[in-house]
Structure 1
Amino acid sequence: MAREIRSRKWAWLNALRGRLLADNLPATLCAAALMGLFGALATVVFRELLDWTQMVLGGEDAPHGMVSLARGLDPWQRFLIPAVGGAIAGVILQMAAKWLPKRGAADYMEAISIGRGVIGFRQTIARSVSSIFSIGSGASIGREGPMVQLAAMFSSLTGRFLLLPPRHLRLLVACGATAGITSAYNAPIAGALFISEIVYGVISTATLVPLVVSSVVANIVTRQILHYDAVFHMPHFEFVSGWEVINYLGLGVIAGLAAPQFLRFLDASRLVFGRLPFPLWARMALGGLVVGALSVINPQVWGNGYSVVNSMLHTQWAWQAVAAILLMKIVATAASVGSGAVGGVFTPTLFVGAALGALYASGLHALFPAGDLSAVSSYAVVGMGALLAATTYAPLMSILMIFEMTLSYEVMLPLMLACISAYVIAHRIRPESVYAKSLASNRLAQFRIENSSNTKSE
C-alpha cells in the first residue's frame, strides 16, 4: 500500500513536471499559485521569529514595534543592544562563509537574472538567522530583503525537486520573490511589477501573468486568511486644486536631486566599513554602536521606521523634529547597511521619502500660510513614491505601490508627475539605481557563462 501511494505521488509530480516543461499555461499558473502560498508562509514565519526576538528583549508585556521597545529600555541598553546583535549576526555570517558550502546564487535577483534559479538552502537560512539578530536588535534596515529571499529560496527548492531546467526554475523563483514582496507590503500589483520592471528589466505577458497569480495568492493568504494588516496606515489623500500639481512637481524635482546623494552616502559607508582592518563581526558591532549612540538621543532610529512613518502621516510634527529624525535615520541606515547587516533598503527609502515630503510641505505652508494647500501627510505620501522611483528607477512600480497603499484615486495625478520627474532627474545625475550593481554583476556572470559554453561547443 505504501509503495502504491509513493508511486502515485511520483506519477503526479512527473506529470506536473512534464506539463511545466511543455510550457503548459494552466500548469504554470498552478505552480505559480503554489509558490504564492509557500512564499506567504515563509514571510509569516520570518515575521513571527522577529516578534519572538522582540519579546525576548522586552518581555512578554513589551509593546509592539521596535521604536516602542527602544523607548522602554534604559539609555545604556539602547546603546549596547544593537552592537551585541550586530556582533552575533556577524559571527553567524562568518561561520556560514567558513563552514557552509556555497551553492547557487547569493540572492534572489542573481538567481533570476543569471538564468540558473538555484538558491542555496543553508546559506539562505544562515543569512536569515543573521538578519533576525540584526533587525531584532534595532538595526536601521528593512525586513523585506530576508523575507523575499526566503520565499524565493523555497520556490527554488521546489523547482529543483521537480528537476526543472534553468529557464523554468528561474520563473518559479521569480514567482516566489513576488509572493515575498506582496506579503511584505500587501501590494499585489506592485509586487508583480517589482520583479518584472527591476529584475527582468522588461514587462512581458509570459512572465507577468504567472507573477500576478503568485502575487494574488500570497495576498489572499496574508491578508484574508492570516489577517496581516498593511504596513502603513495611509490617511485620506487631499488634493485641493489642479494648480497644486505644480507643487508636487517641485517635490519630484527635490526627490530626484536627493536620491543620488542618498545612494552615494550608502556606497561611501560600505567603502569606509570595508576598509576597516576588522573582522566582519567587529564591523557589524561597530555599525550597531553607531545606531545605539543615535538611539540614546532619539529612540526612533531603531528598526525599519514603520511606526515613525505612520506617526508622520497621522499626527502633526514640527519641521525641526522631522529634519532631526531624517538626518539621524540616514546615518543609522548607512551604518547598518555599510557594516554588512543583512536587510533591505526599500523600507528606509520610503522613510526618507516621507520625511522629505513632510519637510517640503512644511516649507510650503510657511511660505503660503493663506494658500489652498493639501495636508502635510499628502505630501509625505507622494514623497515616499517619488524617492522610491528615484532610487529603484522603476516609476511604474512606485506609482502603483503608493496607490495600493492609499487606495485613493486622487493620489494618482500628483504621484505620477512626482515619480516621473524624480526618476528622470535622478537617472540623469546617477545612471545606476540602488540595484544596478547587483544586476550588472549578475549579467556579467551570465555573459561569461554563455561565452564559456560557446567556446566549449566550438
Structure 2
Amino acid sequence: MMRPASVFLNLRSALQRLFGVSGWQSMLLWSIVAGLLGTLATELFRAALLAFEHLVLGPGEGLVAMAKHLPWWARIACPTLGGLVAGLLLVLAKRVAERSATSDYMEAIVLGDGRIPVAQTLARSASSLVSIGTGGSIGREGSMVQLAALASSLLGRVFRFPAERLRLLVACGAAAGLTAAYNAPIAGAFFVAEIVLGSIAMESVGPIIIASVVANVAMRALPGYQPPYRMPPFPEIHGTEVVLFCVLGVLLGFAAVGFLRALQGSRALFSRLPIALPWRLALGGLVMGAVSVPMPEVWGNGYSVVNSVLHTPWAWTLIAMVLLAKAVATMATAGSGAVGGVFTPALFFGCMIGALFGQGVQALWPAASSAPFAYAIVGMGAFLAGATQAPLMAILMIFEMTLSYQVMLPLMAASVIAYFVARSANAGSMYEITLHRNAQRDDQMRLRGLHMRDLVQPAETVVGPQADREAMSRLFLQYPVKYLYVVDADNRYLGVVPLSSLGTAPQETTASALLSQTIQPITAGTGLGEALQRFLDHLGERLPVIESAENPVLLGVVAKSALLATYVRLSEA
C-alpha cells in the first residue's frame, strides 16, 4: 500500500505535467502552507510561554508586572533557577544533536540543505522557553522563528523536496514566524531576504512574501490577537528637524557598535569561566536577577516598557537608569548562552536612547522639535539598522508598525546613517550569517579587483640574447617547459626561444638567432577575464607578464592553474 506522501508526490507530478506548472511556480502554493504552519508554530510557542509564566509566577499582565509583585529574593531566585534548568536542557540538546545537521535555521538555509533536526530544536526551544519564562532579558522571536522554520523543513522532507527548494521552503517558514511575531509581513519577508538569503531575486522573494502575507492574515484571525507595539500617531516633521534625526542616526550607529561589542565581550567572558554550561546560565540569571531587584523593568523582552515610554512621559533619569540596567541584564542573559533573540532587545535600546535624545532636544528647542516619542520610534529603526546591518528591513518594520508616511523621511535618514556608521566601525552584526556573507562579499570584491601583477610568480627560465645552445639546453633539461624567455640587459622582454627550434640548431647558435614572437606577454594591469581569454587561446601552462607595452620589463610569469584557482574562489564567494 502506498504511503500518503508517495500518492501526493505522484499526483503533484501528474498535475505539473498536465498544466505545465514549473517547480518554482508550485513553490508559491507551498509557501501558503509554510505560512500557515509558521503561524501555528509561533502561536503554540506563545501559548506555551504564557502558560509557563503563569505556572511559575502566577497571573499577571506581562513579566514586568509579575516581577513587581515578587519579593526581592524571588526576583533573584527565579531567573537563577531558570538559567540552571535552561542550561540542563541545552546539555540535553547537545547530546541529541545530529552530526550532519545544523539546528540554526539561517545556517540550514544558507550553508546546509534545509534539514533542521527535530529533537535538538525542540530541546533548545524548551530551554529558551524556560529562560524567557523566568524573566530572562532576551526576545522570544528567536525560538518562534526557529520553530516556524522547523515546521517548513519537516513539510519539505515529508514530500521529498530537493535541497534547493527545501532551503527556500525553510526561508518561507522563517519569514512567516517573524511576521507572526511582529505583525510586519513586509519586514518579515525582507528580513529573510536581506539578512539570511542576501538576495531580493523574485524567484526566492516571491514565495517568501506569500508566506508572510498568509502568516499575517492567519495571525490576525486568531482570537485575542494584538500587535506587540502600540504606536502613537507620528507627528509631521518639518525639513529642518530632519537634521536632528540625522544626528540621532550617528549616535545610534555608535550605540549599535557598543551593543555588538559588549555582546561579543560578554559571550567571550562567560565562555572562559571554568564552570559547566548550566552553571554559566545560572550565573547569568543571578546577575540579571540582582539587577532586577531595584529595576524590575529589565524582566522579559521589554514590550511593556517600550509601549509605556511611547505613550506616557518618563523622567530622563528613569529612562537612563532602566537603559543601563537593561544593558547589564541583556549582556548577562545572552552572554551566558541562553537561547533567545536579541532582535527585540535591540528595538528596546533604540527606543530608550531615542527617547533620551528627544528629551534633550525638546529641552533645548521646545518650539522647534517633536515630542520625545517621535525620536524613540525612529530610534528603534535606526538602532536595529546598525545592529543587524539590514537598513531596508529596519525601515520597513517601523513603517509597518506605525503605518504613517510621516515617519519615512526621518526614519530613512537616521537608519541609513546608523547603518554606515556601524559598518565603518567593523563591529559586525547580530547574526553570524551576515558576517559570513560580508566576508564572502569582501573576498569577492578583492578577487574581482585582482590583476596579473597580484598573481605573478618568478620566471626561472630566462636567458639573455647571447646565451649559447648549451646554456639553453641545460634550462630545458632542468625545467619542463616549452619556451625560454629572452630579455636584454635591462630585463626588457624580447621574445621566446621555442624548444622545437633548439633541436636542429647548430652548436654555435645563440638565443637571438632563435628568437620568436610566438608568445605575446600579458601586461601587469590585465584583469582576470582578459587573462582567462588569453589562456583559452594559448595551450601552455604559463604566460610571461611585463610591466606595460611601453615599458616591457619582465616581471615574471602567471600560471594557468593559479588563474583558474582564483576563478574558483571567486565563483564560490
Assess same fold via TM > 0.5. yes
Deviation (angstroms), 1:259: 0.7
2:61 alignment partner, one of 64, 84, 92: 64
1:315-359 CA deviation, whole Å, 9 max, x = no partner? 000000001000110111000111000000000000000001001
Alignment of 1:34-73 (within 5 A): 34-59=33-58, 62-73=59-70
1:168-227 CA deviation, whole Å, 9 max, x = no partner? 110000000000000000000000000000111121111110000000110011113445
The one-letter code matched in structure 2 to 1:214 is: A
* Partner of residue 80, structure 1: 77
Q: Do structure 1's residue 422 and structure 2's residue 421 form an aligned pair?
A: no
Contact 2:260–2:428 (8 Å) recurs in 1: no
2:228 alignment partner, one of 231, 238, 242: 231
Contact 2:96–2:119 (8 Å) recurs in 1: no
Contact 1:301–1:332 (8 Å) recurs in 2: yes
Mean Cα displacement is larger for which, 298-307 or 223-232? 223-232
Q: Which has the larger radius of gyration?
A: 2
What TM-score comes out, normalization by structure 1 length?
0.92
Q: Do structure 1's residue 284 and structure 2's residue 281 form an aligned pair?
A: yes
Deviation (angstroms), 1:239: 2.4
Alignment of 1:267-278 (within 5 A): 267-278=264-275
* Partner of residue 168, structure 2: 171
Deviation (angstroms), 1:291: 0.7
Q: Do structure 1's residue 245 and structure 2's residue 242 form an aligned pair?
A: yes
* Partner of residue 346, structure 2: 349
Alignment of 1:107-118 (within 5 A): 107-118=104-115
Q: Do structure 1's residue 381 and structure 2's residue 377 form an aligned pair?
A: yes
Question: Whose relative contact order is higher, 1 or 2, with alpha carbons under 8 Å and at least 6 apart?
Answer: 1
Deviation (angstroms), 1:257: 1.2
State the superposition RMSD in angstroms: 2.2
Q: How far apart are the structure 1 equivalents of 2:68 and 2:13?
A: 53
1:400 alignment partner, one of 389, 396, 400: 396
Alpha carbons of 1:331 and 1:438: their partners in 2 closer, same or farther (altered >3 Å)? same
Deviation (angstroms), 1:11: 2.3
Q: Secondary structure at the match of 2:293?
A: helix
What TM-score comes out, normalization by structure 2 length?
0.74
Contact 2:153–2:170 (8 Å) recurs in 1: yes
Query: Which stretches in structure 2 are left out of the alignment for 5+ residues?
Result: 444-564, 569-573
Contact 1:253–1:418 (8 Å) recurs in 2: yes
The one-letter code matched in structure 2 to 1:52 is: A
Q: How far apart are the structure 1 equivalents of 2:439 and 2:95?
A: 27
Q: Do structure 1's residue 329 and structure 2's residue 326 form an aligned pair?
A: yes
Alpha carbons of 1:417 and 1:30: their partners in 2 closer, same or farther (altered >3 Å)? same
Alpha carbons of 1:177 and 1:142: their partners in 2 closer, same or farther (altered >3 Å)? same
* Partner of residue 460, structure 2: none
Alpha carbons of 1:358 and 1:8: their partners in 2 closer, same or farther (altered >3 Å)? closer
Mean Cα displacement is larger for which, 433-442 or 162-171? 433-442
Alpha carbons of 1:301 and 1:156: their partners in 2 closer, same or farther (altered >3 Å)? same
Alpha carbons of 1:160 and 1:299: their partners in 2 closer, same or farther (altered >3 Å)? same
Q: How far apart are the structure 2 equivalents of 1:44 and 1:240?
A: 37
Q: Secondary structure at the match of 1:15?
A: helix
Contact 1:256–1:421 (8 Å) recurs in 2: yes
Deviation (angstroms), 1:441: 8.9
Alpha carbons of 1:417 and 1:198: their partners in 2 closer, same or farther (altered >3 Å)? same
* Partner of residue 149, structure 1: 146
Q: How far apart are the structure 2 equivalents of 1:271 and 1:328?
A: 20
More strand by share: 2
Q: Do structure 1's residue 308 and structure 2's residue 335 form an aligned pair?
A: no
2:7 alignment partner, one of 2, 7, 11: 11
Q: Secondary structure at the match of 2:235?
A: coil
More helix by share: 1
Contact 1:236–1:408 (8 Å) recurs in 2: yes
1:410 alignment partner, one of 403, 406, 409: 406
Q: How far apart are the structure 1 equivalents of 2:213 and 2:415?
A: 25
1:79-120 CA deviation, whole Å, 9 max, x = no partner? 110000000000011122124545521200000101411100
Q: How far apart are the structure 1 equivalents of 2:428 and 2:229?
A: 28
* Partner of residue 185, structure 2: 188
Percent sequence identity over matched residues? 50
Alpha carbons of 1:256 and 1:281: their partners in 2 closer, same or farther (altered >3 Å)? same
Q: Do structure 1's residue 124 and structure 2's residue 130 form an aligned pair?
A: no
The one-letter code matched in structure 2 to 1:77 is: A
Contact 1:357–1:383 (8 Å) recurs in 2: yes
Deviation (angstroms), 1:13: 3.2
Alpha carbons of 1:216 and 1:441: their partners in 2 closer, same or farther (altered >3 Å)? closer
Q: Secondary structure at the match of 1:170?
A: helix
Q: Secondary structure at the match of 1:297?
A: coil
The one-letter code matched in structure 2 to 1:113 is: V
Q: How far apart are the structure 2 equivalents of 1:77 and 1:17?
A: 59
Deviation (angstroms), 1:435: 1.2
Count of aligned pairs: 440
Q: How far apart are the structure 2 equivalents of 1:190 and 1:398?
A: 7
Contact 1:86–1:341 (8 Å) recurs in 2: yes
Deviation (angstroms), 1:430: 1.7
Deviation (angstroms), 1:24: 3.1
Contact 1:110–1:442 (8 Å) recurs in 2: no
The one-letter code matched in structure 2 to 1:404 is: E
Alpha carbons of 1:331 and 1:23: their partners in 2 closer, same or farther (altered >3 Å)? farther
* Partner of residue 262, structure 2: 265
Q: Do structure 1's residue 199 and structure 2's residue 196 form an aligned pair?
A: yes
1:331-388 CA deviation, whole Å, 9 max, x = no partner? 110001110000000000000000010010111112123x221111110000000000
Alpha carbons of 1:343 and 1:420: their partners in 2 closer, same or farther (altered >3 Å)? same
Q: How far apart are the structure 1 equivalents of 2:85 and 2:427?
A: 36
Deviation (angstroms), 1:240: 4.0
Contact 1:238–1:410 (8 Å) recurs in 2: yes
Contact 2:198–2:437 (8 Å) recurs in 1: no
Q: How far apart are the structure 1 equivalents of 2:313 and 2:42?
A: 33
Mean Cα displacement is larger for which, 101-110 or 316-325? 101-110
Alpha carbons of 1:132 and 1:320: their partners in 2 closer, same or farther (altered >3 Å)? same
Contact 2:172–2:211 (8 Å) recurs in 1: yes
Q: How far apart are the structure 2 equivalents of 1:192 and 1:204?
A: 12
Alpha carbons of 1:415 and 1:237: their partners in 2 closer, same or farther (altered >3 Å)? same
* Partner of residue 218, structure 2: 221
Alignment of 1:101-112 (within 5 A): 101-102=98-99, 104-112=101-109
Deviation (angstroms), 1:23: 3.9
Q: How far apart are the structure 1 equivalents of 2:115 and 2:353?
A: 39
Contact 1:350–1:387 (8 Å) recurs in 2: yes
Q: How far apart are the structure 1 equivalents of 2:433 and 2:213?
A: 30
